[in-house]
Amino acid sequence: MFDLDKWQEIFITMKKNKMRTFLTGFSVAWGIFMLIILLGSGYGLENGVRDEFEGDAINYVNIRQGITSMPYKGMKPGRFLQFTMEDYEMLKTLNELDDISGRLFVAGESLLSYGHDYATFPIFAVHPAYQHVEDLFMTSGRYLNDKDIEENRKMVAIGKTVYQELFKGKEDAVGKYIKINGVPFKVIGVFDDPGIARDLERVYVPITTAQKVFTRGNSVPHMQLLLGDTDTEESRRVIDEMIAMLSARHKFDPADTRAVGIYNPVEQYEKLMNLFSNIRFYIWIIGVMTIIAGVVGVSNIMMIVVKERTKEIGIRKALGASPWSIISLVMQESILITAFAGYVGLVAGVGLLEVISKNIEIDFFKNPEVNIQVAIGATVIMILAGALAGFVPARKAAAVKPVIALRDE
């Protein structure tokens, strides 16, 4: 039950010892504050990296032609491999693939024009599946399709930035013709991309059209293998099978890591998520140790309080005070200090994270935040720890015999 006299006594005691009460509370508030800041920073870093990955698909493998660095079956190293449409058709037979796209970059930035407006942007020649690699979505019109590839159509899908530069946002681009290095292409769609801004400066054309228009022969320097739902082990098996097929065709050692350049986002993403899991674990260790230091400080202070009030406790017991009344008096003071200081630390930590989130923009660091349930849980644990910290000296005080307490100097 609520005992007003006891709470008045607690507040009077705290008021008489302001500095001691402040230092005790500060150690607790600092522990909670640091835990919130560390957790928020960890989540901010994780959110930033996740946001970067959202700009592209994760479940794919990118391969590019390279230069052999090992001799193989009598052939010397230093041979430059050249992937072609035949390699693309061969890799399409892999059972584990959802889809595949080739990619041909038209060297240098190409000159685009519409009417009297001109701009230079990079041209990427791809297959329709590349839309899923970059995780593009169309704001108007459509993306490239198989008919565009089969019939070598002069079609083009442009990014939002390209659209703004050429059309100024004043008219619908779909169905209009723009010139790429003097060659007319029909705009079939405008796309947006949740990734980095430079992805919106791209222009995509059918790879078969680019091979003919820009005299690139049968070349397919890069290929992206879409894997669907997969894990690191399965992606590695696909890579091994793909390397074996290319090795047999181009005559290079399958162990030659420079013959074919490989980028595996599935593996990279899993490594990063494991890294963040470890970071959170170490953050919790540091935060918990900081909280423990605060609780130990509370316990030590309460022991000092008990020592200072030994005679008072003796008088209380001589007048008939029960052991529990003595224990509750000390514990209530400990819980009050811990709860209030913990709340202050929680509010200060969350407030600082809000300020950082709204006013600081750093690459790979976005929306530093803390799960409110975690924050409240940490504060509740701190209050329970404060109760435990007060219980130990309180129990010692309750065990003091009145005669001994009254005789204590």
- Which two three-digit tokens encode residue 264? 């595996």
Q: At 147, is the pLDDT very low, low, confident or very high (cuts 50, 70, 90)?
A: very high
Question: What does each C-alpha distance from 63 to 83, 101, 189, 238 come to in angstroms?
Answer: 10, 11, 27, 12
Q: Which has more confidence, 179 or 302? A: 179
pLDDT value, residue 156: 96
Q: Is the pLDDT of residue 109 over 70?
A: no
pLDDT value, residue 407: 61
Q: Which has more confidence, 128 or 312? A: 128
pLDDT tens per residue across span 71-83:
998 889 999 999 9
Q: Is the pLDDT of residue 364 over 70?
A: no
- Which two three-digit tokens encode residue 93? 């037979």
pLDDT value, residue 249: 93
Average pLDDT estimate for 137-147: 93
Q: Is the pLDDT of residue 143 over 90?
A: yes
pLDDT value, residue 282: 79
Is the separation of the CB atoms in 129 and 226 below 8 Å? yes
Q: What is the pTM of this model?
A: 0.66
Q: Is the pLDDT of residue 122 over 60?
A: yes
pLDDT tens per residue across span 278-335:
877 877 787 777 767 767 777 777 777 777 666 777 777 777 777 777 777 777 777 7
pLDDT value, residue 1: 46
Average pLDDT estimate for 340-363: 80
Rounded (5°) CA angle 375-377-382: 95
Residues 6+ apart with CB under 8 A from 94: 100, 225, 238, 241, 242, 245
Average pLDDT value over all residues in the chain: 82
Q: Which has more confidence, 7 or 72? A: 72
Q: Which has more confidence, 299 or 179? A: 179
pLDDT tens per residue across span 205-255:
999 999 998 877 888 999 999 887 777 888 888 899 999 999 999 999 999
Q: Is the pLDDT of residue 187 over 80?
A: yes
pLDDT value, residue 108: 65
SS3 for 148-180 is: HHHCCCCEEEEEHHHHHHHHCCCCCCCCCEEEE
Closest of 82, 56, 321, 111 to residue 221, by C-alpha: 82
Distance CA 219, CA 122 (A): 18
Cα 273–chain centre separation: 8
pLDDT value, residue 353: 84
Q: Is the pLDDT of residue 7 over 90?
A: no
Q: Which of 55-64, 101-110, 137-146, 371-380 has the lowest mean pLDDT?
A: 371-380
pLDDT value, residue 55: 57
pLDDT value, residue 54: 60
Highest mean pLDDT among 147-161, 338-352, 354-368: 147-161
Which residue's structure tokens are 């030659």?
Answer: 256
Q: Which value, to the nearest 10 degrees, does the dihedral of the CA atoms of residues 300, 306, 308, 313 take?
A: 180
Q: Where are the alpha helices (DSSP H) in 175-231?
A: 207-213
Q: Is the pLDDT of residue 102 over 90?
A: yes
Share of the chain above pLDDT 90, in %: 30
Rounded (5°) CA angle 262-264-265: 145
Q: Which of 152-156, 160-164, 290-294 has the lowest mean pLDDT?
A: 290-294
Distance CA 342, CA 375 (A): 10
Name the DSSP letter for residue 79: P
Q: Is the pLDDT of residue 408 over 60?
A: no
pLDDT tens per residue across span 22-73:
877 787 788 788 888 888 887 787 777 666 666 566 788 999 999 999 999 8
